[in-house]
């Protein structure tokens, strides 16, 4: 665990509102905390450097002393049986189990325990895939037994625990779900007396044991010890006398509630957001959407590293002053030799604005990437050593998610059982959402290797250096307030990588653009993936990496639909909304974190529609420099495509060229038919390009798109005096200044 860290309860806040901070401090020293405005988050000494400004101290209050805190990983289901009935002396629990991972530490499959959590019975999966049963007080010589039966990996098995407490005996019954003719295997154990009031499926991970890795389906509870014959019948769904509870995991999948369809309504709660809307034991493959066959999705996938909230105590509160300017801010912490920073964003009061320009901060993308442990950290010691060395030399943020899995990883990583992480949350420390965080180490200081929050600060630093007034708004406000949030602004800018969006966000941006808004897309790989937000846990986000796209993992067949909203997930392109329809360009190719230049189209400098963009620029090429991969056109590139919705009046004003061959560059999978043919019909090489694009929209609106994720990294070059800076200044002034040369009628 880090000696000093924490998280905010929200990423954006308005003047007059309170943002709460949850701080863990294991240093033993007193914590000093203060708020700063963030101007630049790039630690590169050759660039703008980290720049912050102290603000008045009033509003920040410490309400509790930060103490050492551990993050509690591992998802579980909790049912308090004693809330409705007195726990029976004899009972049976039947469920279907699908185990996805073996581990050295035992995995808790099920627990039946008392209110104090000491006396009870625990069933665990051992390293050799046998089941261990522990009965009694685990701190006082409990009874232990181990089965001869071994659980198969990634296969469905019915397991039943029949408790006969009057005889102090527990019987375990197993049979293969897929084989109707299989005979059940029964093993029995003598146990000491134990009590219990609550049923837990899976459980939190700790130093001694893990939560369960795999799926649990259709648990049922009966008021007596069933025979193997009755257990088999119960598993088939037949009515067996003595039913106390039957939990149907196919119900209320969008929530953390588990529904009991039995006579007593012993509903339960899920902890740490395990994955729902996953295939169960009866899935046939004939239906891909769980809404059409919910009985085939009556399972929940638990993981030993699930986490949706660290659940640390609130230690500090900041009441944002009513006159505080919209912008990027952070809580800076110091305790002994340890330091930490926790960024957040102040947006204008609802229904107001303080500038004609707003920058849309991609907080949903930040969260989806939160704690991305890059594969190089694990597989390449030289890369890891280079990162550590550069962070130390630059006095950059010193902690890498690859070394701190305890806070949960990103949806670009895998769970410990190999399944893709589909749910992300900001209620935990996100180490790559920090001032000074470097993503890619570089051998020289000409490039900073930044992504997301620190990379977006290149744009904010440029706005500050050029004296432009601006507000910040975030994905959260855009999703919930729609076009009403946007329409008061003359111009909206994005940052470098606005990748993850809900349908509500796209609706709002399209309405703004169509209503005369001026929109500047200053990144690459934007408007790409479709996400869903938890309806009950603000800050929890879902991504299903369905068919197509450059993916860190692939969703399992039949699991392409979001649990939170029931809609098909994956690419917005596969949902009929390619990025080209909104901003004229869409993701086409990806390489390593290197960049090149754009070549200005000759006609763009002479056509009255676009010549104003290049006032003061004599060069034929622009952007062959910068702190993001040494060039304004790099890493992830977007291009026009009329078939996918690029407007007919769109004009490419500049196009990238001479991309370094060592990248290597790859075409996105959704553009490829075979290894030599593409959907557009052009060659792979022709499709590897960034198209800087401009077009007018109705009601005197317009869109300017750079088509590159590294564009903003060129702005600080030569103390913000360069061709990319000049170009962006020209476009921004025209977008803020009034009518365009050739407006489209409403």
Give the CA-trace dihedral at 20, 26, 29, 33, to 10 degrees: -20
pLDDT-derived band of residue 117, with 50, 70 and 90 as boundaries? low
Token pair, residue 605, equals 């400098």
Q: What is the pLDDT of residue 90?
A: 86
Helices (H) and strands (E) in the chain, counts: 11, 41
Enumerate the β-bridge partners of residue 233. Answer: none
- Residue 84 pLDDT more than 90? no
Q: CA 494 to CA 500: how far, in whole Å?
A: 12
Tokens 């009870």 — which residue? 120
- When pLDDT is cut at 50, 70 and 90, the band that residue 118 belongs to is low
Residues 56 and 134 in one domain: no
Mean of pLDDT over the chain: 94
Q: Which domain holds residue 60?
A: 4-70+312-345
Do the Cβ atoms of 48 and 38 come closer than 8 Å?
A: no
The pLDDT of 62-83, averaged and rounded, is 93
pLDDT at residue number 339: 98
The confidence band for 163, taking pLDDT boundaries of 50, 70 and 90, is: confident
Tokens of 616: 């003061």
407-439 per-position pLDDT tens digit: 999 999 999 999 999 999 999 999 999 999 999
Judgement on whether residues 118 and 37 belong to the same structural domain of the protein: no
Residue 502 burial by Cβ neighbours in a 10 Å radius (0-12, 13-18, 19+): buried
286 and 171 together in one domain = yes
Residue 610 has pLDDT above 80, yes or no: yes
β-partners of residue 474 are 361
Q: Are residues 105 and 136 in the same domain?
A: yes
pLDDT at 136 over 80: no
CATH number at residue 245: 2.60.120.200
Host H or E run for residue 172: strand 169-176
Q: What percent of the chain has pLDDT over 70?
A: 99
Q: What does the longest C-alpha to C-alpha distance in the chain come to?
A: 94
Closest CA to 600 of 578, 621, 614, 580: 621
For 579-617, b where at least 16 C-beta lie within 10 A, e where not — what string? Answer: bbbbbbbbbbbbbebbbbbbbbbeebbeeebbeebbeeb
At 116, the pLDDT band (50, 70, 90 cuts) reads low
DSSP letters for 680-705 = SSS-TTTT---EEEEEEEBTTEEEEE
pLDDT in tens, 243-264: 999 999 999 999 999 999 999 9
Q: Hey, CA dihedral for 348, 351, 353, 356, is it positive or negative? A: positive
Q: Which of 323, 345, 367 is the last residue of a domain?
A: 345
- Decide if 737 is inside a domain: yes
Closest by Cα among 45, 46, 48 to 455: 48
pLDDT (average), residues 550-573: 97
Structure tokens at 20: 């709460």
pLDDT score of 656: 98
CATH code of the domain in which 333 resides: 2.60.40.3720
Residue 724: strand, helix, or coil: helix
Token reading at 419: 């399944």
| Phi, psi angle pair for 152, to nearest 5° | -70, 155
> Of 493, 494, 389, which is closest to residue 449 (Cα–Cα)?
389
CATH code of residue 646: 3.40.50
Q: Are residues 292 and 316 both part of a single domain?
A: no
Strand intervals (E) in 496-643: 500-501, 518-521, 529-533, 540-543, 585-600, 621-622, 633-640
CA angle 558, 562, 564 (to 5 degrees): 145
Q: Which two tokens stand for residue 720?
A: 């913000």
Whether residue 713 has pLDDT greater than 90? yes
Domain end marker among 322, 345, 368: 345
Which one, of 60, 43, 39, lies nearest residue 51 by Cα?
A: 39
The tens digit of pLDDT for each residue in 303-334 reads 999 999 999 999 999 999 999 999 999 999 99
> Are residues 62 and 112 both part of a single domain?
no
Query: Is 453 within a domain?
Result: no
CA 133 – CA 121 distance, rounded (Å): 7
Mean pLDDT of 328-353: 98
Q: How far apart are CA 33 and CA 17, in angstroms?
A: 19
Q: What does each C-alpha distance from 171 to 128, 134, 231, 283, 614 come to in angstroms? A: 20, 13, 11, 29, 80
Of 267, 302, 337, the position where a domain reaches its end is: 302
pLDDT bin (cut points 50, 70, 90) of residue 177 is confident
Say if residue 182's pLDDT is above 80: no
Specify which residues 87 forms β-bridges with. Answer: none
Taking residues 452-468, what's their average pLDDT? 98
Question: How many whole angstroms separate alpha carbon 473 and alpha carbon 49?
Answer: 24
Indicate the helix (H) or strand (E) that contains 19: strand 18-25
CA 709, CA 362: separation in Å to the nearest integer? 13
281 located within any domain? yes
Q: Is 58 helix (H, G, I), strand (E, B) or coil?
A: coil
Specify if 278 maps to a domain. yes
Q: What integer pLDDT is reported at residue 235 of this predicted model? A: 86
As a three-state string, the secondary structure of 404-417 is CHHHCCCCCCECCC
Q: How far apart are CA 626 and CA 443, in angstroms?
A: 15
Per the structure, the count of domains in the chain is 3
The two structure tokens encoding residue 427 = 């209620």
Tokens matching residue 704: 């300017």
Residue 345, burial from CB neighbour count under 10 angstroms (0-12, 13-18, 19+): buried
669-698: average pLDDT:
94
pLDDT for 445: 81
Helix, strand, or coil here: 126? coil
- For the segment 206-246, what is each residue's pLDDT rounded down to a tens digit? 878 889 999 999 999 999 999 988 998 898 889 999 999 99
Residue 335 sits in the same domain as residue 234: no
pLDDT, one tens digit per residue, over 621-651 is: 999 999 999 999 999 999 999 999 999 999 9
Integer Cα distance of 274 and 253 in angstroms: 11
Closest CA to 226 of 151, 176, 180, 172: 172
Is residue 431 situated within a structural domain? no
Q: Is the dihedral of CA 204, 205, 208, 214 positive or negative?
A: positive
d(CA 680, CA 642): 10
The rounded distance, in Å, linking the Cα atoms of 317 and 334 is 16
Give the torsion through C-alpha atoms of 613, 619, 624, 628, to 10 deg: -30
Lowest mean pLDDT among 459-468, 534-543, 653-662: 653-662
197 vs 321: which has the higher pLDDT: 321
- 269 and 195, same structural domain? yes
Token pair in block for residue 727 = 């170009």
- Please give the Cα distance from 280 to 250 (Å, whole number): 9
Q: Name the residue among 338, 392, 308 with its Cα closest to residue 24.
A: 338
Indicate if 25 and 149 belong to the same structural domain.
Answer: no
d(CA 609, CA 599): 18
User: Looking at residue 575, what DSSP letter applies?
Assistant: G
Does any domain span residue 213? yes
One domain, residues 261 and 316 = no
Q: Looking at residue 195, what is its pLDDT?
A: 67
Provide the H-helix boundaries in 352-451.
Answer: 363-368, 375-379, 381-394
Task: Let me know whether 618 and 505 are in one domain.
Answer: yes
Per-residue model confidence (pLDDT) at position 693: 98
How far is residue 714 from each of residues 50, 430, 437, 623, 721, measured CA to CA in Å?
17, 26, 18, 6, 10
Per-residue confidence (pLDDT) for residue 190, from 0 to 100: 85
CA distances from 285 to 179, 466, 559, 570, 649 (A): 18, 58, 11, 19, 44
Alpha-carbon distance of 521 to 652, in angstroms, equals 14
Q: How far apart (Å, rounded) are the C-alpha atoms in residues 77 and 202?
A: 7
Structure tokens at 692: 């800087």
Residue 256 lies in a domain: yes
Q: Is residue 492 part of a domain?
A: yes
CB 613 within 8 A of CB 654: no
Q: What CA–CA distances, in Å, run from 108 to 210, 340, 425?
A: 6, 35, 24
CB atoms within 10 A of CB 446: 15
- Are 283 and 217 in contact, with CB atoms under 8 Å apart? no
Give the predicted TM-score (pTM) of the model: 0.97
Asked whether residue 182 falls in the same domain as residue 37, the answer is: no
């Amino acid at each position: 665990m880090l000696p000093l860290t924490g998280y905010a309860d929200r990423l954006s806040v308005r003047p007059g509102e309170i943002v709460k901070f949850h701080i863990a401090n294991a240093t033993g020293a007193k914590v000093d905390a203060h708020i700063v405005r963030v101007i630049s988050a790039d630690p590169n000494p050759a660039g703008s450097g980290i720049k912050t400004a102290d603000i008045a101290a009033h509003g920040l209050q410490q309400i509790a002393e930060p103490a050492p805190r551990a993050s509690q990983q591992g998802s579980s289901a909790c049912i308090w049986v004693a809330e409705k009935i007195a726990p029976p002396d004899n009972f049976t629990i039947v469920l279907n189990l699908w185990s996805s991972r073996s581990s050295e530490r035992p995995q808790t499959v099920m627990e039946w325990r008392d209110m104090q959590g000491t006396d009870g019975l625990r069933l665990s999966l051992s390293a050799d895939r046998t089941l261990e049963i522990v009965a009694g007080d685990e701190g006082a010589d409990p009874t232990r037994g181990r089965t001869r039966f071994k659980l198969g990996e990634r296969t469905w098995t019915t397991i039943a625990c029949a408790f006969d407490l009057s005889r102090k005996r527990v019987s375990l019954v197993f049979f293969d779900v897929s084989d109707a003719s299989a005979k059940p295997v029964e093993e029995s154990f003598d146990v000491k007396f134990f009590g219990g009031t609550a049923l837990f499926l899976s459980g939190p991970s700790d130093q001694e044991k893990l939560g369960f890795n795999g799926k649990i389906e259709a648990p049922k509870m009966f008021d007596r010890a069933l025979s193997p014959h009755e257990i088999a019948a119960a598993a088939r769904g037949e009515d067996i006398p003595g039913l106390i509870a039957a939990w149907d995991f196919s119900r209320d999948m969008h929530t953390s509630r588990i529904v009991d369809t039995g006579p007593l309504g012993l509903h339960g709660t899920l902890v740490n957001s395990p994955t729902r809307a996953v295939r169960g034991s009866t899935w046939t493959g004939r239906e891909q959407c769980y809404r059409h066959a919910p009985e085939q999705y009556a399972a929940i996938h638990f993981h030993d590293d699930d986490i949706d909230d660290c659940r640390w105590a609130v230690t500090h509160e900041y009441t944002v002053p009513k006159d505080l300017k919209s912008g990027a801010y952070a809580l800076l912490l110091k305790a002994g030799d340890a330091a930490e920073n926790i960024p957040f964003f102040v947006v204008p009061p609802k229904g107001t604005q303080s500038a004609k320009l707003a920058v849309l901060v991609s907080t949903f993308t930040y969260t989806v990437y939160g704690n991305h442990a890059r594969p190089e950290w694990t597989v390449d010691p030289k890369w890891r050593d280079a990162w550590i060395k550069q962070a130390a030399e630059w006095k950059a943020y010193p902690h890498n998610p690859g070394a701190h899995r305890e806070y949960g990883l990103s949806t670009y990583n895998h769970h410990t059982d190999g399944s893709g992480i589909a749910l992300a949350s900001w209620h935990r420390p996100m180490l790559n959402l920090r001032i000074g965080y470097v993503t890619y180490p570089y051998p020289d200081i000409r490039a900073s290797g930044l992504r997301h929050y620190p990379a977006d600060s290149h744009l904010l630093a440029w706005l500050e250096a050029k004296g432009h007034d601006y507000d910040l708004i975030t994905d959260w406000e855009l999703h919930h307030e729609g076009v009403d949030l946007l329409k008061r602004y003359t111009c909206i800018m994005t940052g470098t990588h606005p990748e993850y969006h809900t349908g509500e966000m796209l609706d709002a941006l399209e309405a703004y653009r169509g209503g005369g808004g001026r929109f500047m897309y200053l990144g690459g790989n934007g408007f790409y993936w479709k996400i869903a937000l938890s309806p009950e846990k603000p800050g929890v986000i879902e991504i299903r990496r369905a068919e197509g796209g450059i993916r860190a993992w692939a969703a399992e067949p039949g699991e392409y639909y979001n649990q939170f909203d029931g809609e098909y997930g994956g690419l917005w392109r596969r949902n009929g909304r390619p990025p080209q329809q909104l901003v004229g360009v869409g993701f086409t190719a990806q390489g390593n974190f290197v960049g090149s230049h754009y070549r200005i189209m000759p006609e763009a400098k002479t056509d009255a529609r676009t010549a104003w963009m290049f006032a003061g620029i004599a060069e034929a090429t622009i952007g062959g420099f910068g702190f993001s991969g040494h060039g304004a056109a790099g890493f992830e590139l977007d291009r026009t495509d009329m078939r996918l919705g690029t407007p007919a009046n769109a004009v490419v004003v500049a196009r990238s060229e001479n991309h370094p061959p060592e990248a290597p560059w790859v075409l996105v999978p959704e553009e490829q038919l075979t290894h030599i043919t593409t959907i557009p019909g052009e060659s792979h090489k022709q499709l590897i390009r960034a198209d800087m694009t401009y077009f007018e929209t109705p009601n005197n609106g317009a869109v300017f798109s750079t088509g590159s994720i590294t564009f903003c990294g060129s702005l600080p070059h030569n103390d913000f005096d360069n061709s990319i800076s000049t170009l962006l200044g020209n476009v921004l002034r025209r977008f803020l200044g009034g009518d365009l040369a050739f407006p489209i009628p409403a």
